[in-house]
Amino acid sequence: DSIGMTLLDMGKDPAKFTDDDYDAAIARLQKAVDKGQIRRFTGNDYTSDLTKGDLAACVAWAGDVVQLKADSPDVDFIIPESGYITSTDNMLVPNKARHKTNAERLMDYYFEPRPAAELAAYINYVCPVDGVKDELAKIDEDAANNPLIIPDKAMAARSHPFRSLSQKEETAYEEKFAKLTGA
């Protein structure tokens, strides 16, 4: 997400970037680290720093922000002018799963509007299911109208995918990012 957001800010398309673009994004982030603009890179542990007010800005996930706002109303979600990176969680069935049909049925179930609405109301993350807004409104009107859960057209238009990487690219890019983050 850090690289994707940096690419967007540099005017690059994260769906079509080159090795040189990636290296330029790493260099830009390194410069910010060297100047103290970026104090550290975190995983999901950023939420406590955010709610304590120890962060001025961070890359955050919309569902976390929805949940954090309940106890910390000063936390807000701002999308940069350049847009944001689309994130997804994926359900997968292992290649040789013994109960493949059952797994597929469960996946199909979660793509029905009613169960999808129940899940969205519980986790507060973006719901990818068409027609879920009306079902979600029956459970939680505020959630149904929250663009962090059901993005409106304007918000969706600012979303950008990060392209798939080859195994070679993934290895090289992960090495460069680990060096940047001190991992």
Ranges of each domain in the chain: 1-60+163-183, 87-160
Query: pLDDT above 90 covers what percent of the chain?
Result: 76
pLDDT confidence band for 89 (50 / 70 / 90): confident
Q: Identify the three-state secondary structure at position 157.
A: helix
Q: What is the largest CA-CA distance in the chain?
A: 54
Residue 55 banded pLDDT, cuts 50, 70, 90: confident
Say whether pLDDT at 183 is over 80: no
User: The tokens of 179 are what?
Assistant: 């060096």
Q: Is the pLDDT of residue 66 over 80?
A: yes
Q: What is the pTM of this model?
A: 0.85
